Structure 1
Amino acid sequence: MTKTPDSVSSKPQIITGKARLAGVLGWPVSHSRSPALHNYWLRRYGIDGAYVPLPVKPEQFEAAVRGLQAAGFRGANVTIPHKEAACALADELDPSAQRAGAVNTLVFEEDGRIRGLSTDGEGFVASMDASGISLPASGRALLLGAGGAARSVAAALQDRGLHIAVTNRTQARADSLAAVLPGLEVVPWETWEAGLGGYDLLVNTTSLGMEGGPDPMFRPSLKAASHKLVVADIVYVPRLTPLLAEAEQHGLKTLGGLGMLLHQARLGFREWFGQDPVVDAKTEATVTASL
């Protein structure tokens, strides 16, 4: 009898001396549910492998990556605050990473090269599609933040034909993002709340509102938003961030960060473990249970 994915999902994880290894590098990294997701897929497909959280300080990032490569890892995901450093470290970039100037997935090739991928933007738009969210072809989106995730999401939304504005507490970083992705508008951090009536989509790409982050109570005012505004948050711990709670109070459509996590993870898993995993209700329920 051929084993289906569901028939192997409840079996113990296979880890031998030949296990394929990957992980997620971040500082902090305790919030990440990527280990729960990837290890679930490893069990589901009966793959000999493991995926581990790797807390790495910014000043130790390159040394950590080189060490993982030397230890035989297949690669790693990269989360806050390492995405731009990962871009600089990679020997080869895929087109999306090259355009965004940020990397969230590293692949260690057998010849010693490091390949950098950017799957955040693809994961975000896939999450929108899966949630049935459609925006006007010439719509306007405002992104909070100007880090690696913002770069990738902005590029993906530009490809959808949206006009993108970005705001950041340090405007110089927003200006740098606008220089990388021509056509972006920079909005001062002090004024973005008042201008929400002119947007179809608001995306928080920062760690503001994240449990254990710099400001877990981040809850900006949405009083100026139009009824058509969709509010998205790439933070998924907690699932209902203060920003999303505020949006719900105003009757606005919302999109949490879990879907982006699930969809952006597929490409890395395929690269490291040789299997294209499915994102389905069981996958979501498994990761949700870990929150």
Structure 2
Amino acid sequence: MTPFAEVIGDPIAQSKSPRIHGFWLEKLGIDAAYRAHLVAPDGVGAYLADRRTDPDWRGCNVTMPHKQAVQPFLDTVSRTASRIGAINTVYVQQDRLIGDNTDGEGFLEPLTQWLGQTHLFRMARVLGAGGAARAITAALVDHGFTLVVAGRDAAKCETILAQLPGEHHATTLDHFADPTDFAFDDRDGLFDLVVNTTPLGMAGREPLRFDFSHVPPGSIVYDIVTSPVRTPLLIEAETRGFRTIDGLAMLIGQAAAAFRLFFGADAPREHDAELRALLES
């Protein structure tokens, strides 16, 4: 039999994970498989009970709407996943099912060159209050960021921030839709991020209403949406001269962390350009 891992969710046909993991398995010559598997919301427990008894199953990535629903069926959860309150990776360790979250690691990866520098102040404006926002805000706070988190419901943003050390701020998405005349600090040595974690701007979804008067000079604009890769937010940011990071950067980064857990090998990242071309085709 062939070892395999999966990604589960509902819906799941749109997932790019099988292409990513399949690409790496082929490059490394590993005899294993990775596939998408549709699991309905009421089928999570049965799915994990069945896979637990399969000696060839190495684990699964977890996408919406199961990132919290899987936890009662696992043997243990990592400190990272517990802190975030969401699980995006389940792997097998000595016949035990372990829940983890690699979203924060994947998100931070393309920021490494800046995170290694010393700054006078770091601030991130994070749009969204879902599971991805929870992972991203926790990762940013660990690297010294002060946060402004905006969602449709400011109370939900407050709940996220209440779990994090430091003094942060919650608001609504509408706050960033309207222009501001705020005078930003433009000293050298500041590190500002604007991060979209919402599905707004995704193909088939309503656009993200965001006014660029809210973006400090020298900011990096980061959109985790992957379809399209170049979202309207990133296109406008580029035309205004801001540095940008697209959603494939986080997707590939978090997948690499999961690949190591599933298959015991490092993803061949020297082929990232080829992989990106495949995912964008």
With the shorter chain as reference, the TM-score category is: 0.7 to 0.9
133 and 50 in structure 1: CA distance in 2 versus 1, 3 angstrom threshold: same
The code of the aligned residue for 1:115 comes to: I
159 and 98 in structure 1: CA distance in 2 versus 1, 3 angstrom threshold: same
Measured in 2, the distance between the counterparts of 1:20 and 1:154 equals 34
Deviation of the 1:153 alpha carbon: 1.1
Partner residue in 2 for 1:4? none
Partner residue in 2 for 1:227? 217
Instruction: Assess if the C-alpha contact under 8 Å between 1:36 and 1:290 holds in 2.
Output: yes
The code of the aligned residue for 1:179 comes to: A
28 and 189 in structure 1: CA distance in 2 versus 1, 3 angstrom threshold: same
More strand as a share of residues: 2
88 and 175 in structure 1: CA distance in 2 versus 1, 3 angstrom threshold: farther
1:138 has 2:121 as partner: yes
1:160 has 2:143 as partner: yes
Q: 1:75 aligns with which of 32, 38, 59?
A: 59
Deviation of the 1:232 alpha carbon: 0.3
Measured in 1, the distance between the counterparts of 2:136 and 2:258 equals 17
Partner residue in 1 for 2:250? 260
| Deviations 1:24-53 (CA, angstroms, capped at 9, x unpaired) | 122332332111110011111111111111
Give me the identity figure in percent.
Answer: 37
1:192 has 2:212 as partner: no
Q: How does 1:1-291 map to 2 (within 5 A)?
A: 17=1, 19-72=2-55, 73-111=57-95, 113-129=96-112, 136=119, 138-183=121-166, 184-193=168-177, 194=179, 200-212=192-204, 214-215=205-206, 217-280=207-270, 282-291=271-280
Measured in 2, the distance between the counterparts of 1:137 and 1:182 equals 19
227 and 138 in structure 1: CA distance in 2 versus 1, 3 angstrom threshold: closer
Instruction: Assess if the C-alpha contact under 8 Å between 1:142 and 1:166 holds in 2.
Output: yes
Specify the SS of the correspondent of 1:209. coil
Normalising to structure 1: TM-score of the pair? 0.82
Measured in 1, the distance between the counterparts of 2:23 and 2:251 equals 14
Instruction: Assess if the C-alpha contact under 8 Å between 1:244 and 1:254 holds in 2.
Output: yes
With 116-125 and 174-183 compared, the bigger mean Cα shift is at: 174-183
The code of the aligned residue for 1:283 comes to: D
Deviation of the 1:237 alpha carbon: 1.7
42 and 32 in structure 1: CA distance in 2 versus 1, 3 angstrom threshold: same
Deviation of the 1:277 alpha carbon: 1.6
> Paired residues, what number?
270
82 and 144 in structure 1: CA distance in 2 versus 1, 3 angstrom threshold: farther
289 and 172 in structure 1: CA distance in 2 versus 1, 3 angstrom threshold: same
Instruction: Assess if the C-alpha contact under 8 Å between 1:262 and 1:284 holds in 2.
Output: no
163 and 209 in structure 1: CA distance in 2 versus 1, 3 angstrom threshold: same
Measured in 2, the distance between the counterparts of 1:91 and 1:137 equals 43
Partner residue in 1 for 2:187? none
179 and 248 in structure 1: CA distance in 2 versus 1, 3 angstrom threshold: same
Measured in 2, the distance between the counterparts of 1:284 and 1:89 equals 37
Specify the SS of the correspondent of 2:217. coil
Measured in 1, the distance between the counterparts of 2:120 and 2:82 equals 24
Measured in 1, the distance between the counterparts of 2:181 and 2:102 equals 27
Measured in 1, the distance between the counterparts of 2:113 and 2:37 equals 30
Instruction: Assess if the C-alpha contact under 8 Å between 2:219 and 2:243 holds in 1.
Output: yes
- Runs of 5+ consecutive residues of structure 1 not aligned to the other structure: 1-16
| Deviations 1:92-122 (CA, angstroms, capped at 9, x unpaired) | 12222122112111113343x3211111111
Specify the SS of the correspondent of 1:53. strand
The code of the aligned residue for 1:261 comes to: L
The code of the aligned residue for 1:271 comes to: L
| Deviations 1:148-196 (CA, angstroms, capped at 9, x unpaired) | 2111111111111111221111333222212222434211222134469
With 176-185 and 123-132 compared, the bigger mean Cα shift is at: 123-132
Instruction: Assess if the C-alpha contact under 8 Å between 1:20 and 1:272 holds in 2.
Output: no
Deviation of the 1:284 alpha carbon: 3.4
